[in-house]
A and B are shown apart, each in its own frame.
Chain A
Amino acid sequence: MMSWKELQNTSFYESPARERAIGLVDEGTFKELIAPIDKFTSPHLPVLGEAVCFDDGVVTGVGKIGTRPVFVISQEGRFIGGAVGEVGGAKISGLFQVALQLYDKIVDKYPNDYESRIPAVVFSFETGGVRLHESNAGLLAHAEIMEWIQKCRNKVPVISLVGSKVGCFGGMGFVCVATDLVIMSELGRIGLTGPEVIEEVMGKKEFDSTDRALIYRTTGGKHKYIMRDCAFLVDDSIEAFRNQIEEVLKMPYSEIASYRSIGSLELVEEQLSLVGLSTELHPKDSKDVWRYFGNENADQIQDLYYEDFMNSVKIRPRGGR
């Protein structure tokens, strides 16, 4: 295993769940909760003759960033595509629960001085959504996690990170954008129905899932940043994600909450106005939308390296169009 310092410069995209979890918080502070040694494994997979994993595909634990306790959820794409099953789902819900309990304790103990001490939840997504082998339990887990995110509102900031190999798809696509804000690298992808499934159902003409450039134009970090579906776009290293979390934690809670995509009438109207735009604009490709929002260099955007992109990009204005 790499040292914490080595992890900082490592590609976030390539890093396994545990290395991400360790590297995202301050050096030496990560403590895994319900670790592999506890062997909480899926009861459903053995019935189907499938191998289990001692962490059930998700690393949960707590560390510190500065003065703040940070609860980390990190999904492992190499185990069944990071899909959420019953045990992994319960670990995630449990972590939110512990974070809220800690919040209450801190507010109790420091009624006048708790802002700089309150915990945050950081969720590093790498998942295709529900684990089909245990679909009901997996779906239920999604619903529970959604509920915990709502319970955290106005108390514990919940930050999504998307920049891993599998991306963030299926039901977890919903979960991810229901948090306070999303941090992505350009290699991150967020969507609901995966590209292969769209192609299978709607045909290759509608969506060619072998066209990786198309997939990135449609679901990738740059597009999500232009569309304001992600609040911050960072370089592909654990350190870059970590630094951005640190910046976010310095913000007053109201500022963090201002990056939300859902949760108010205003935001619903904003989303609806975008639906309206798409029926007027009839975009054939994301590039048409990028151009609409003022990016004359839409054809070059995909090939721009991070700095050049950040220096030149124009993103969707707040409020819709």
Chain B
Amino acid sequence: MRDDANISWDSLKRDRIERIQAAIPLVKMGKEVDASNAVALLETVIKPYDKVNIEGDNQKQADFLAKSLCEVDVEKIHDLHMVQSSISLGSHLDLFEKGIAKKIDFSFSGPQADRLARMIDQGTIELGDIHTYLELYARYFIDLTPRVALVAAYQADRNGNLYTGFNTEDTPVVIESVKFKQGIVVAQVNEIVDQLPRVDIPADWVDFVIEAPNPFYVEPLFTRDPALITDAQVLRAMMAIKGIYAEYGVQRINHGIGFDTAAIELLLPTYGEELGLKGKICSYFALNPHPSLIPAIESGWVKSIHCFGGEVGMENYIRNRPDIFFTGPDDSLRSNRAYAQMAGHYALDMFIGGTLQIDKYGNSSTATAERITGFGGAPNMGCDAKGRRHSSEAWLKCGQEYGMREQLTGDMPRGKRLVVQLQETFREKLAPGFVDRLDAWKLADKAGLDIPPVMIYGDDLTHIVTEEGIAYLHKCASLDERMAAIRAVAGYTEVGLSADEAETQALREKGIVKTPEDLGIDITKANRNMLAAKNVRELVKWSKGLYEPPARYRNW
């Protein structure tokens, strides 16, 4: 029996109240704190060893709060444990160099991948775990709940209501975990206004609001200029549409970001139309608002898109297409990464994307020995969702064809998600797309990771599309057969050169490997003239002037 007299059940709550009271002198009006007091506020509400989240999403960044945290007195605040989805800014890592933070748990670190690897190597950063987005959000509610969250929004009112609008992204899930576990939420906003267009986060859930000196930074990550799509990408896209989308009647999809998938999007109104596939494929997406999808949307292919985040330049277009996108009462996009990832994990029939390396077993990774990039959200979509119980045409057909199903579950029918990798046999600078052993092993060794960072595991991968052909890996009855199918489409790489002609021929007869000729695709037709838009300006034209691309894409 515990001695009730000596037990407190509300220490977190009392601690929160103490911290907030200590910060009251810094508050100007309502919940507003001047930007000049930002550092003082953080020194007041954050304590050493706290778990702290800086909102660093895939796109928007609480950059002013990140910079302010770098300026706190290290005597007052040190050894923080950062938990954040993205390490995007230099300031995110400066914290560790200054001794303000010590440990990190995260998902994605694309732009800072080199420096992160070096700092882990030097012992400046203690690495917790590298997660997918959904995993990290899950752990916010289990054992990685931040004590303090530093978030970003477009606007706030003086009561602390937040408008996160177009780039809502991670804000709701972060605040949900922090606020309801007696934590503290500080928001930087671009401006404080009297009336918000809509309320995304209610004032109750926000403790302090700071009008940042500059608007938060957002990177246009999902714009692919059609002018850079190659003929080889057009060919792979045609093969994917005919050999996979049409073959399985794939309706619910996520497209990884890349030129291969942009090519597919731009072929729907041309090649897709020619094959009579409108309405039969590509109706529903969990997807960022890719500008390259505009021609397909305008041609009536797409019924619905739920977005992880926004995309610079697409604001006005989305505002005018509310039947397609999820928008608020103010008509602007409501993105939400946690829900989109959930949708991506459970409600999709197919994930299709590109990668850096595929090994001879079909495992793939974007890791190199010198960079720790993390995962982001792809693995939650590039996998078979084992908890899935609802059925769909594509899912069921893929499961029926699954060559190892009987060995695993006997005669019990079960579907399977299509997980497709589009791969050029040789990538930029002649780097082979197929390798004997992934560079991820070297990275695991160097950074002391428990396991090599694999984006998509071989047993989840169902199809590989290269310019040589499509390998229908899930049809294979053994790992040996699977490896032979990979070799058959791996071209002149080390892996491909070990292919046996007779073996490849046998796989073609079984329908496990299909070349462009097997698919009835005329290679001479596979060129850029097939694209519904050949450059960004044509996308603007398709959008009827509603898409407003950022200056870096305005090639005219």
Interface residues in chain A, defined as those with a beta carbon under 8 Å from any beta carbon in chain B: 10-11, 14, 186-187, 210-214, 216, 220, 302-303
Contacts and interface: CB of A to CB of B under 8 A. Distances in A.
Contacts of A186: 556
A216 B552 contact: no
A302 B551 CA distance: 11
B555 A14 contact: no
A211 B534 CA distance: 20
B514 interface: no
A188 to B, nearest CB: 11
A210 B552 contact: yes
Chain A CB within 10 Å, residue with most, of B528, B534, B554: B554
Contacts of B553: 212
Contacts of A187: 555-556
27 contacts: A10-B529, A11-B534, A14-B227, A14-B528, A14-B534, A186-B556, A187-B555, A210-B551, A210-B552, A211-B551, A211-B552, A212-B551, A212-B552, A212-B553, A212-B554, A212-B555, A213-B551, A213-B554, A213-B556, A214-B551, A216-B554, A216-B555, A216-B556, A220-B556, A302-B554, A302-B556, A303-B556
Interface of B is mostly: helix
A10 B534 CA distance: 12
Interface of B: 227, 528-529, 534, 551-556
A81 B3 CA distance: 80
**Chain A to chain B: the 4 pairs with minimum beta-carbon distance, closest first:** A213-B554, A213-B551, A211-B551, A210-B552
Contacts of B534: 11, 14
Interface of A is mostly: loop
Contacts of A220: 556
A213 B552 CA distance: 7
Contacts of A211: 551-552
A207 to B, nearest CB: 13
Contacts of A214: 551
B198 to A, nearest CB: 30
A11 B538 CA distance: 13
Contacts of A10: 529
Given A186-B556, A212-B551, 4 more contacts: A210-B552, A212-B552, A220-B556, A302-B556
A214 B552 CA distance: 9
A210 B529 CA distance: 27
Chain A CB within 10 Å, residue with most, of B529, B534, B553, B555: B555
Nearest to A220: B556
A14 B531 CA distance: 13
A220 B554 CA distance: 12
A212 B555 CA distance: 6
Nearest to B554: A213
Contacts of A216: 554-556
A176 to B, nearest CB: 20
Contacts of B552: 210-212
